[in-house]
Amino acid sequence: MQTAILGNANATDTDIIIASGGDGTISAVAGALIGTGIPLGIIPRGTANAFAVALGIPRLLTIRNACQIILAGQTRKVDAARCNGSPMILLAGVGYEAETVERASRELKDQWGAMAYLMAGWQLLDEQNQFEAEIEAEGEVQHIQAAAITIANAAPPTSVLAQGAGQVIYDDGLLDITIATAENKLQAVTTMLKMLGAALVKAGTQQQNVVHGRAKQIKITTNPPQKVVVDGEVIGTTPIDLECISNGLTVLAPGSERRL
């Protein structure tokens, strides 16, 4: 068996690609593997490691244990997606989440780790305004007021703004879209805590200010234009087009379907 580390995903003699890093690194490597069938091995070493956690790979895994998972050779097919043509394995955030990611500087993340996002998000609660959104999915168009829109392919419970249904199913061929509004800071905090609780017990939230749906293709425009983050990187502003790629990515992960 030949193994390439950040190698050429198109090489015919490549059996595995291994990515070591945070979600940005994993996403970049995974994007090159969509549709190739080449398994992706993950060594989580970033700030949040959301994709690894969503797949059941523990966040605080040692490098040795991560390599043992890879060597076990168990593979799982999961969905991938594209947002404005760019690969997406985790989620896209419109509005509040994108602003939070942009505000959480590298210095802040180096000092506080994942807490940097909480600190940045808390500061933004006093500043974030609602916006008008037009959402087109499954041939239907909806107009809605929103403070945050999250479209998720895969997400752990800690990605609270993706948890409108209590869990994100990463192998159903659909994207989860969650739309949240809040009239004040207290309601925003209460909403996120309830969404986290729903994710921990895998039950949908029953909140009037949270709307959830699933679709294979989604188009979003906003007024005014809102910043967009995809897999932890701010990519620009709305409008965005998203499409789920069913079973588009093969990963090496525990509790999987088959062995190499």
Q: Per residue in 180-198, pLDDT tens? A: 887 776 667 677 667 666 6
Q: Per residue in 210-236, pLDDT tens? A: 889 999 999 999 999 999 999 988 899
**Identity of the amino acid at 129:** N
Q: Of residues 58 and 199, which shows the higher confidence score?
A: 58
Tell me the whole-structure pTM to 2 decimals: 0.84
Q: Beta partners for 233?
A: 230
Would the CATH topology of 3-80+248-259 be identical to that of 87-246? Answer: no
Residue ranges per domain, the chain?
3-80+248-259, 87-246
Give dist(CA 219, CA 94) in Å, integer.
Answer: 12
CATH class of 3-80+248-259: alpha beta
Tell me the percentage of the chain whose pLDDT exceeds 70.
75
**How would DSSP label each residue in 181-239?**
--SSHHHHHHHHHHHHHHHHHT-----TTEEEEEESEEEEEEES--EEEETTEEEEES-
* Topology at the third CATH level for domain 87-246: Tumour Suppressor Smad4 (2.60.200)
Give dist(CA 85, CA 164) in Å, integer.
Answer: 25
Q: Per residue in 159-185, pLDDT tens? A: 888 888 888 999 999 999 998 887 776
Give the pLDDT band (50/70/90) at residue 260.
low
Phi, psi of 7 (to 5 degrees): -90, -165
